[in-house]
Amino acid sequence: MHLLLCGRRADIGACACIVTTVGSHAPSHCSAMGKAIVAYNPEFERAVLGSPLKRSTADTIVDPEALRDDFARTRERGYSLSIGEFSNDMVGIASPVYDRSGVATFGIGMWAPATLMTESRIKEIAPKLVLTAKAISAELGHFVRLGS
């Protein structure tokens, strides 16, 4: 199993959350952050798709072809979604952050209860999340050509 390492956490005082601590792990194939990073790293994607995919919930994608399609949708959108895949009734959204060499080494994301993270809310938040990830990438020295 491929795992994602939690490196930073911020709480907003919400009543429902996924409890993480710095240094904790999450499966990379079903967490929004893991999917955001894997989708933009072909070597990671091959490794994840070539490994047994374990269920965290009934909604976890465990079919390699379906997960490959999900990674492709992530690349098209610029962000990943995990809708009940890692934790029941929770929705995660994440966008990759690139280092100066152009590798998606980490990301920025958030989780919320599905009752709050509706499709319209995702459409509102996603562009801001992607722009924030791009801004952080630029601060780390990643160069993005205009129109990219």
Give the pTM.
Answer: 0.81
pLDDT at residue 12 in the model: 45
Domain assignment of residue 148, yes or no: no
Given this model, what pLDDT does residue 127 score?
Answer: 96
Beta bridge partners of 26: 4
104 strand-pairing partners: 98
The domain spanning residue 37 has which CATH number? 3.30.450.40
pLDDT at position 104 is 92
d(CA 7, CA 22): 5
* Amino acid at residue number 14: A
Q: With the C-alpha atoms ordered 45, 50, 51, 55, is the resulting torsion angle positive or negative? A: positive
Look at residue 15 in the predicted model and tell me its pLDDT: 45
Q: What is the per-residue pLDDT for 27? A: 81
pLDDT at position 26 is 73
Owning domain of residue 32 = 3-139
Q: What is the pLDDT of residue 28?
A: 84
Cα torsion 81, 147, 134, 30 to 10°: value is 20
Q: Count CA atoms closer than 13 A to 67's CA, side-chain side.
A: 29
Q: Would 146 be classed as within a structural domain? A: no
How many structural domains are present in the chain? 1
Mode of pairing for the β-strands spanning 3-5 and 104-113: unpaired
Which residue, among 135, 109, 131, 89, has the nearest Cα to 10 in the 3D structure? 109
How far is residue 97 CA from its own chain's centroid? Answer: 10
Per the listing, tokens 């710095």 go with 22
pLDDT at 3: 41
* Domain presence at residue 144: no
Per-residue pLDDT tens listing for the chain (148 residues)? 444 444 444 444 444 444 455 565 678 889 999 999 999 999 999 999 999 999 999 999 999 999 999 999 999 999 999 999 999 999 999 999 999 988 998 899 988 899 999 999 999 999 999 999 999 999 998 876 545 5
pLDDT of residue 20: 54
Distance, in Å, from the CA atom of 101 to the CA atom of 142, rounded to the nearest integer, reads 7
At residue 23, the pLDDT reads 60
